């Protein structure tokens, strides 16, 4: 499967709320590290993330991957991601943000997925209070810092 085909299947499965199809893109022991919800390990949990977590407070997802680059082991792609929020304070607003997807591949499947995203504009779109946005962004910054520290200790 080409990188472009994999990425289109990835996005289509999310947009169609098809957790099973999404999870099948991962290895049995695959892990999806979500910028909002954290890590989901194994196909069953990854499928549940799509079918339940993603759609719990949102609908009408749109996900597009751009400019994929891969060496067969690692796949990078810029993305644009949006959804319509069902949170009461959002009043049906569409949130959009951009990021970079980082996938480790094994046997033409995703072994791990990480992302780096600028989520702050989406929270403004959703009409979150500035204090709530600051708290979310601080948490994400701390998680990125911890991940960087862990990488430094492993090398």
pLDDT in tens, 86-125: 888 788 889 898 999 999 999 989 999 999 988 777 777 7
Total of domains in the chain: 1
Q: What is the mean pLDDT of residues 57-72?
A: 95
The CA–CA distances, whole Å, from 25 to 43, 64, 109, 155 equal 9, 16, 6, 29
So what's the pLDDT on residue 26? Answer: 98
So what's the pLDDT on residue 90? Answer: 82
| CATH assignment of the domain containing 42 | 3.10.450.50
- C-alpha to C-alpha distance for 81 and 65, rounded to whole angstroms: 9
Q: Which domain holds residue 42?
A: 3-154
So what's the pLDDT on residue 44? Answer: 96
Q: What is the mean pLDDT of residues 29-34?
A: 96
> Is 154's pLDDT higher than 70?
no
Q: pLDDT averaged over the chain?
A: 87
Asked whether 99 and 115 are in contact (CB, 8 A), the reply is yes
So what's the pLDDT on residue 100? Answer: 96
């Amino acid at each position: 499967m080409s990188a472009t085909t994999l990425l289109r299947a990835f996005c289509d499965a999310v947009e169609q709320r098809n957790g099973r199809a999404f999870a099948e893109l991962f290895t049995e022991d695959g892990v999806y590290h979500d910028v909002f919800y954290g890590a989901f390990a194994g196909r069953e949990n990854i499928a549940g993330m799509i079918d339940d977590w993603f759609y719990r407070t949102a609908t009408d997802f749109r996900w597009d991957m751009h400019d994929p680059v891969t060496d067969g082991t690692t796949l990078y792609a810029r993305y644009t991601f949006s959804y319509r929020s069902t949170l009461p304070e959002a009043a049906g607003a569409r949130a959009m943000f951009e990021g970079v997807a980082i996938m480790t591949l094994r046997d033409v499947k995703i072994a791990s997925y990480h992302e780096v995203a600028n989520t702050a504009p989406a929270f403004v779109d959703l009409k979150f209070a500035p204090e709530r946005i600051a708290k979310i962004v601080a948490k994400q910054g701390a998680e990125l810092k911890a991940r960087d520290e862990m990488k430094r200790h492993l090398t």
